[in-house]
Structure 1
Amino acid sequence: MSHYDIAVIGAGAAGLAAGLALQKAGKNFIVLEARDRIGGRAFTDTSLGLPFDMGAHWLHSADVNPFVQIADRLGLSYNDQISFEGEHIVRFGKDGPLPAGVQAEIAQYIVKALEAFIAAGAAGRDVPFTDVFDPASRWYPLLHQLIGQITSIDPEHCSTLDASRYVYDGGDYPVMDGYGALVARNAAGLPVTLATPVTRIDWSGRDVRLETQRGTVTASSVILAVPVNVLIADGIRFDPALPPALVQAFRDCPMGVSEKLAILLDEPIQGFGHVYGDVIFADPAKPPFNLHLNPFGRPLLVSHFGGSHGAELEELSDDEMMALAMEAMVEAFGANMKKRVVASLRTHWASDPWTLGGYSHARPGKAASRLMFSEPVGDRIVLAGEHCSIPFFSTVHGAHLSGIAAADKAVRLIQRSARRPS
């Protein structure tokens, strides 16, 4: 392999955005990706015969999300009439759906809890979510599950200050052909070297040496666009070691667990549109089970599970996972559901060696640690990824924007280096 001005490690949303920015600027660069595909956690699977987003699904903060305009430019459709904000709580079985008054009570409790931890963070309080709302409510299990899905971690382990910095502006729109497909289409034509994990980065000299199974790459500057949990797990060796303060910041802002199960049915669930909701069991000892119904009118049920409960479910066998899902489906729609399953597909991001988790959150008291990711390391290494975004962490567009910013920083680093005496 050759020498490059800039080497980008990782071809997820951040690495692809960095590569596209460098390509547009006419720079000499290479993008190295450990997987045999691009997109990272933004990946649309079609093995069920229809598009299913294994990871990222929603165009969050649609009014400021650049992928909305990218989708429009590429002619990819999204649904701007539904949002998981308008969650429909389902509980059927022999007792039928929850009464409207009860559903309103649940919605009010959830809204007040979300408002409470955002207000606490806005006031400068860097405390666990559970410090600012009532976990004694009978609806707390549902809130606990919801926060696990939003943050990929349990509420007692998440910083109010970090969460309050997230900028929500506009709706959350699902992409018809898949968010992963959108990310891939946007990067079409970008040269990416696949199946080439970087195992060691030697940044002791003037140039940076990247060791891979295909040989060594040298570069004047590096954009490190890999998931933060891979860095925490020493998935890449650094010589010399990264600064201890930065390593601690990684540990302060780890990724939790965010997984999915997709169940293909013989036909869509009748009587419902495109609904995002939860099954609440008659037995209060059983945790709620998330079910996303009929996405884009398709015969599909999708379950999202995160946090510690998601970690427990991720370790189950496929048969054990389907048994739980079937129990929820029967509770909601009757015993006939047992005959309607055609196929299923599930994710394992938490055990995927190139990911090792869902998306990042700051631990209570550690919100300031995320700020460190914006600074170059030793005038040679620039960080990119959703964990680097202050206003849009945990999102594809946050990763995308961080990649563009990282490309600009890397270019300025090599320009500054070129002016130094040898």
Structure 2
Amino acid sequence: MHTVFDVIIVGGGAAGIGAARRLADQGVSAVLLEASSRLGGRAHTQDLGGYPLDLGCEWLHSGDRNAWVGIAEAAGFPVDRGDPPWAKAHPSIAQDRDDQEAAQRAYGAWEDRLRVVAAGSDRAADALEPGDRYNPYVRSIAGFMSGVGPEAISAADYLAYDDASTGRNWHLPLGYGTLVAASLPAATALRLATPAEGIDLTADGVAVATRAGTLHAGAAILTVSTAILAGDAIRLPAGTDPWREAAAALPLGHNEKVFLEIARDSAFAPDSHAYGDIHDARSAAYSIRPNGWPVIEAFLGGEGARMVAEEGPAAGFAFVAAQLAALFGHDVASAIRPLAATAWSRMGTIGGAYSCALPGRSGARAQLARPFEERLFFAGEATHLHDFTTAHGAHDSGQRAADEAMAALRPRRAFTARR
């Protein structure tokens, strides 16, 4: 087994694959170590009921500047540039439109107040109007975006993403996870089910210990989640405590999906959207019959996702079934049945959804992205300054780390050549 490379990449998600693509383009030898038995990380498409459903990231956010769009088209993957389902409310729901509009205005006003809060406490909860009846709606949308409640959200961090987003949200009918997993270049050596156990600096680079043996390289790129980095799963060199502390300031939130199969003809219109209850912070957002498939995807964030993580999938199925019955009538209960539920928070190799900076700690993203001793480089969505929580932010961070690693390797390789 080959054990010496130019660069060792730890983590096979969007960031690791982005780094591998950049290194392969420049003819730099690399090996990618992935702890699980599959590629993709939080990008994971699974065939459920005969349909490619995304259990993790699903939308090409800021599609007009998203690197995965070009990668998809170059590889022959179709890209749907149509409006996302949340732009098309389900026509059969009898809803109080005034109440909905008031909830949306309350969310917009909360976002406006965040700019004042960002310059002060930086605690997004301080932008809530005390006692406002639409605070549960604001909490739920914040949970979709950040995976946590406003008490744990840096207002400055939240706004950094919001300000950079172009609002273009496109879709991959074959699945985002399918694309990410298929995008590792053939030139990159791949070791699945091979977690990195420890990283040491050596005289000429790094040594990465695994249960299958130790690999050596001039540099390593670490792309694991902040939950893994802040923990003790990987032994890091002495002096990296500031990086672990930065990761701890960017904890992963809770975001989960519950999928239901539509078992018979019903009133569910294809490619439409519904929202559970604007007065319940646990509410899900429902993508109904995507691509015309007989499936309903319930997306939960923050309090709703934490309920699924703590109480299990049965509780999640019961909750979303009750919300759907309230929206469409109790006779829909016989038309839907459980299909699958995610458990990102329980996955030992990941540990949650995506990162959210704690109040006052938005600067931790730049701190985490700094190289260590020009040997160890860090990537992942949490290291991106404004495209965090996204697969394209992760990809771009991997490319940035690859560029840093190659720049550090050049003088050492030139010195070796002169010798």
Q: In 1, distance between residues paired with 2:309 and 2:260?
A: 16
Query: What are the within-5 Å matches in structure 2 for residues 370-385 of structure 1?
Result: 370-385=365-380
Give CA deviations for 1:133-179 in whole Å, capped at 9, x if unaligned: 32522121122111111111111111111122221124112321111
Aligned partner letter, 1:21: R
Q: Which residue of 2 aligns with 1:306?
A: 301
Q: Which residue of 2 aligns with 1:221?
A: 219
Q: In 2, distance between residues paired with 1:287 and 1:340?
A: 23
Q: Which residue of 1 aligns with 2:241?
A: 244
Residues 286 and 73 of structure 1, relative CA distance in 2, 3 Å threshold: closer
Deviation at 1:301, TM superposition (A): 1.0
Give CA deviations for 1:302-346 in whole Å, capped at 9, x if unaligned: 111122442222122333322222211221222222222344111
- State the Cα RMSD in Å: 2.4
Residue 195 in 1 paired to residue 190 in 2?
no
Query: What are the within-5 Å matches in structure 2 for residues 115-264 of structure 1?
Result: 115-117=112-114, 119-120=115-116, 124-125=119-120, 127-166=122-161, 167-187=164-184, 189=186, 190-203=188-201, 205-240=203-238, 242-264=239-261
Residues 237 and 286 of structure 1, relative CA distance in 2, 3 Å threshold: closer
Q: Does the Cα contact within 8 Å between 2:265 and 2:335 map onto a contact in 1?
A: no
Residues 254 and 286 of structure 1, relative CA distance in 2, 3 Å threshold: closer
Q: In 2, distance between residues paired with 1:403 and 1:277?
A: 35
Among candidates 349, 352, 364, match of residue 347 of structure 2: 352
| TM-score (norm: length of structure 2) | 0.91
Residue 399 in 1 paired to residue 394 in 2?
yes
Deviation at 1:188, TM superposition (A): 5.7
Q: Which residue of 2 aligns with 1:49?
A: 50
Q: Which residue of 2 aligns with 1:97?
A: 94
Moved more, 264-273 or 13-22: 264-273
Residues 126 and 162 of structure 1, relative CA distance in 2, 3 Å threshold: farther
Give CA deviations for 1:200-250 in whole Å, capped at 9, x if unaligned: 11125433111112111011100001111111122211232x433222111
Residues 60 and 368 of structure 1, relative CA distance in 2, 3 Å threshold: same
Residues 78 and 268 of structure 1, relative CA distance in 2, 3 Å threshold: farther
Q: In 2, distance between residues paired with 1:15 and 1:244?
A: 22
Deviation at 1:105, TM superposition (A): 1.6
Q: In 2, distance between residues paired with 1:380 and 1:150?
A: 34
Q: Does the Cα contact within 8 Å between 1:126 and 1:367 map onto a contact in 2?
A: no
Residues 416 and 311 of structure 1, relative CA distance in 2, 3 Å threshold: farther
Q: How many residues align?
A: 413
Q: Does the Cα contact within 8 Å between 2:62 and 2:168 map onto a contact in 1?
A: yes
SS at match of 1:186: coil
| TM-score (norm: length of structure 1) | 0.91
Residues 286 and 237 of structure 1, relative CA distance in 2, 3 Å threshold: closer
Residues 374 and 268 of structure 1, relative CA distance in 2, 3 Å threshold: farther
Among candidates 365, 386, 405, match of residue 410 of structure 1: 405
Q: In 2, distance between residues paired with 1:304 and 1:130?
A: 22
Q: In 2, distance between residues paired with 1:126 and 1:87?
A: 37
SS at match of 1:376: coil
Unaligned runs of 5+ in 2: none
